[in-house]
Amino acid sequence: MAKVSRPKLAFGGFRRGGSSIGFEIVQHLLIQSGLHCGDPVKQFFNLGIETSKITSQLLKPEWDRNNVVGCFRATPKLGKAALSRIRLFLLVRDPRDCQISWFHARHLHQGDAIASPIIEDAELHQPLNRDDIFDQEAASLLDWCELSGGQIYRYEDLVLNPLGFIQSFQEFSGFSLSRTAVDLALIKAAFFQGVIDPAEHNRSGIPYQALRTLPDAQLDALNRRFLPLLERMGYPLNRDAVPPLDFAKLAERDAIKRYIESLANQNGQRIAEIQRLQGEVAALRDMVEHMRQSIQSDR
């Protein structure tokens, strides 16, 4: 594959902060627009290599063949000079909600290539794993974004305004995205999950979940734990400052998206069946032609 033009662009996000969803949307936008987007971080993770140990030498081939590289949930092992030349589009989420999500999902990751021992009796506001450095990783991503002149976008805004996320990424990257890619990305980005669902990796996508649902004591404890990050990103500490959320509208949008996906899957299955039958018809035609030629040669 030919090398793509620079500058170097990266995508990152917090653990359990919607980064997988955001990166999936970005990948779709680029690939459907004839561009390239790679996820070597996931590949290294599956090999047991932590993001903090990924070096410039390991990443160089990725930027040679991709327009955007991700999905960084921690800062790779690069010096400040190198990081400053890699502009980061960072999807952030209220760290209190990231903590709630991880609380319900941490047991699902014990079979990962890099597993983290769980502290079973930990309370919600405490470290949930013995080597949990979420706070430091989030802060380092914010540092990288500021150092590189990157861009921060909130997960909460992605949920409420998917088009704003797409427009923000396009302005950040400068890429020309196809209309079809944007249309399909809007469908993909129309997601809403109001409850924790084991079938969806114990995810709950409610924006400002901690502020909306937690008892005062738990909320106060999380506020104390994450105060530096909350203040740095401008997240509110009090329930009164939570933006209004139209649950019915979001649920309706998500239902329409799932219906469209269901129709597309059914259509794909029909196309596959048509192609299979076309193959069988072609094979029968070949067989008939072979028999016809055999009969003629015997005369």
Q: pLDDT for 28-48, tens place per residue?
A: 999 999 999 999 988 888 888
What is the reported pLDDT for 231? 96
- Measured CA to CA in angstroms, residue 15 lies from 103, 193, 264 at distances of 12, 18, 31
pTM: 0.79
What is the reported pLDDT for 92? 97
Domain spans of the chain, in order of start:
8-245, 247-299
Stretches where the chain sits below pLDDT 50 are: 1, 4-5, 202
What is the reported pLDDT for 276? 77
What is the reported pLDDT for 138? 96
- Which CATH number is 8-245's, of 3.40.50.720, 3.40.50.620, 3.40.50.300, 3.30.1330.10? 3.40.50.300
Per residue in 83-108, pLDDT (tens digit) is 999 999 999 999 999 999 888 888 77
